[in-house]
Amino acid sequence: MSTSYESQLAAHTAALRDQEATIAALTRQLVEAGEERTRLTAEFAATIRERDALQSTVASSAPLSGGTLRSMEHGAASSSPVGLLVADPPQQIAQIALLEPHLYGMARGTSFAVREEATIGRHPESAILIDEAYTSAHHAQLTREADGWWLIDLGTKNGTYVNSVRINEPTQLTPGDVLRFGRVRVSFALT
């Protein structure tokens, strides 16, 4: 019986050592996870500070006139006309100026600055919001490419025009062009 007792004691002692080794390994993993959590929390806080600094920079850049800066967080949209400004190195900025803003309830001189691209339309999340019955929700896309600025009609019923010519394919713009989205006429310029 003593041999059986000794073998049981040895088996329990071995199992206890295995459990202690497992506990030690799990404790090390827990410490490492805590250190990783601390590192990630600090990285997250730095990212939030960087985002806030960028938003502050964007917010301090005013549209040319008459527009309001679109909030870029969570795709929030403004109920008034907006111009999209994105912080980047100085490059030519497109200016879209309404030719007859009073017809659409907008202030004289209403214009929008576009640095990279902007969707133009009636949809509340459009970068350039034109709330007019003949303008589609997603009417046109203005995009800067390496070779200049391009306007693309997004399959609208009432059409997108450049200098009174309806466009059906991407069209390169030049300063002084008159664009039309439905019935809304704007001038295109570079600053």
Residue 112 neighbours by CB distance under 10 Å: 27
Torsion of CA 152, 156, 162, 163, to 10 degrees: 180
The type of residue at 182 is G
Give the C-alpha separation, 139 to 127, whole Å.
11
Give the C-alpha separation, 37 to 30, whole Å.
10
The string of pLDDT tens digits covering residues 25-80 is 888 998 888 888 878 777 777 777 777 666 666 555 444 433 333 333 334 444 44
Q: Which percentage of the chain shows pLDDT scores above 90?
A: 37
**Least confident residue range of 9-18, 48-57, 96-105, 140-149:** 48-57
- pLDDT at position 122 is 92
Residue 33's Cβ-side half-sphere holds a number of Cα atoms within 13 Å equal to 6
3-state secondary structure 14-71: HHHHHHHHHHHHHHHHHHHHHHHHHHHHHHHHHHHHHHHHHHHHHHHCCCCECCEECC
20 against 63, higher pLDDT: 20
Residue 157 has pLDDT above 70, yes or no: yes
The type of residue at 180 is R
- pLDDT at position 91 is 64
Give the C-alpha separation, 78 to 84, whole Å.
12
